[in-house]
Each structure stands twice: as structure tokens, then as C-alpha cells.
Structure 1
Amino acid sequence: MARWTGEWLPGTGNGPGASERTAPKWRGETFGLPESGVGSVAGGGARLVALVIDLVLAGLITTLFVRYDVQDVAAMQTFNWWAGVVWAVITTVPVTFFGFTAGMGAVGVRVARLDGATMVGPWRALVRMVLTVVIVPAIVRNIDGRSWLDRVTGTVVIRLR
């Protein structure tokens, strides 16, 4: 697959001397991550399932506070807007402090900083949430299995089990 997907971002291995390096044998090798098991780069399927779980959870929480009626367009617009706000909160706050959302915890993945710091931090969590809303940065990955939102924030999603 062609790597037109943003290899100009920092840490992607496309800078000076990149042609002299060999391709990594597994995703995350360039960052010292294991090939499999705990601490290895999480696959796209686990990330997608975690996102779906978080979206469903946001919808369920929203139903506790906002009326929904599939026959009423205005009510559904209000419900969807509030569900989006709830999703933003239940993804940004836990990732800031703990590195994972409820959905990520359920599938056994978490966000880790490449610099080794324990907390992801508020700006990284907020940027990840905003770029996830845009969708494309969350889908497009490089050879290390990191999406644009991972590369912009200096993070990687790893397996917990």
C-alpha cells in the first residue's frame, strides 16, 4: 500500500536517512514495543469495537437525561447533539487521566505516550477526540499501526492483555 497518508508527520521515519533504514519486522518495533502480547500495538479491529462500545454507552447515558422520539426530528436532533457531547466527555476525561475509555478497557487496549509519561494529558486527549470526530485521521495508519491522531499527539494504542 502506498504511504501517501501523511508520512511527513514527525516520527514516521520518512526524514533524512530513512532510505538507509530497513522496514520494521512488526508494528511498533521502531518504538521498542513487543511483537505481540501486553504492550504491543493494538489492531484496528479492537480500536473500532472500543469506539462502538463508547458510542453505545454515550447513547445510553444520554437516554437518562434527554427525551428521544424517533418520530420527532427536533427531539432526535437534540438527543444526537447531547449524545455527542456525552461521548466527548466520556472519551476525553478518562483518556486524560487513565489512558483508556470504558470501551477500550472492555477490549483490552489503552493509549500510551511514546515519551513514557504515565498520563496522556488533557491536550492530547482533546486532540485525539477531535480528530476521531473527523474520522479520516483515525482510519489512516502507517506501517507502525499508528493513525494520524496517534502521530500528531505522540501516542500509540497498545494492548493491555
Structure 2
Amino acid sequence: MDNRQAIGSWLSGPRAAAEEMGVEFGYRGEGLGLPEKGSGSVAPLGRRFGALFIDWALCMLIAYAFLADGEPQRAGNWALLIFFLLSLLTVGTVGCTPGKRLLGLRVVGEDGGRLSLPRVLLRSALIAIVVPAVIWDRDTRGLHDRLARAVQVRI
């Protein structure tokens, strides 16, 4: 192995290096029994981040307009509470937040069904503290989804 190949494998990451050696990982969601593409497949990261941005902007707008008394710091604190409640109520009832709905996403259980209230509560609490959302598995599910046994899929 020459230096260029060693540096290239380091830059591309361990998964790319393993794939070059012939290791088969399959597609995202294969281990969950989800289709590779189309409706019911694992939602792409870009759409998930877009939905999160839409939901957060909506919560900030509500907090700033009705609860912050013109103080941006208070708006951020209220927005986090609104975000938690929005996630809890919308994912718990219709399976998606407004941002997810606009971008064609839904949160379902690993079995494909609706999440129970305790699982939605756990997921919403974990996503509100942010850290679990930035730790992913090979299916690009955040730790909050793994612990709640949930997956975000395309509608």
C-alpha cells in the first residue's frame, strides 16, 4: 500500500476502506427490513435536517411572537419547550412534525407501526437535549431513534 492509498482511506473513513477490501454493508435500512428506495425507505439526512430547521424556525417564531417580550434569549428558551411539545404532540398523534410533513417524512416504529406514547416521550426528550441526535448508527438513525426503537422514513 503506498502513502497515497493510505491517506485516501484515512480521509474517506473506515467504511470506505472496508468496502474497498470487499466488506458488504448493504443499504441503509436493510437490517430493519425497509426498502432501499421510495416510500418506506430510510429518510435521507438532507431532508431530515431540513425538517428540523423548519420545525425549529416555527418554534422560534412562535416563541418570539408570543412569549419572549422582545428578548431573543428568552425566545430561545421558550422555543426549546415549544419544540419538545410540538414533537411530543405531532409525532405522537400523526407521526410527523410540520417540517417532516412538508418534506415527506414520517416517524414510525421499527415494526412500521405508530410509536406508543412512552416511546414518543423518550424520543422527544432525547432530541431536545441534542446530544443523542448527533450520534448515528449505520442506518443513519440518531441515538434518540435507536433508544425509542423508531426510524424516520419517506412517505
Q: Sort the TM-score into its range (normalised by shorter chain).
A: 0.7 to 0.9
Listed as ranges, the matches of 1:62-101 within 5 Å are 62-69=63-70, 75-101=71-97
The aligned residue for residue 137 of structure 1 is 132
| Large movers: runs of 4+ above 6 Å | none
Residue identity over aligned pairs, in percent, reads 35
- Unaligned 5+ residue runs, structure 1? 4-21, 70-74
Q: Distance in 1 between matches of 2:112 and 2:48?
A: 21
Listed as ranges, the matches of 1:43-58 within 5 Å are 43-58=44-59
Q: With a CA cutoff of 8 Å and minimum separation of 6, indicate the structure with the bigger relative contact order.
A: 1
TM-score (normalised: structure 1): 0.75
Q: Distance in 1 between matches of 2:101 and 2:35?
A: 20
Aligned-residue offset at 1:2: 5.7
Pair 1:78–1:67, CA change in 2 (3 A)? closer
Q: Distance in 1 between matches of 2:24 and 2:147?
A: 21
Indicate the structure with greater helix content. Answer: 2
TM-score (normalised: structure 2): 0.78
Structure 1 SS opposite 2:66? coil
**Could you say which structure has the larger radius of gyration?**
2
- Unaligned 5+ residue runs, structure 2? 1-12, 16-22
Kept in 2, the 8 Å contact 1:141–1:148? The answer is yes
Count of paired positions = 136
Tell me which amino acid in the other structure corresponds to 2:115: V
Kept in 1, the 8 Å contact 2:80–2:128? The answer is no
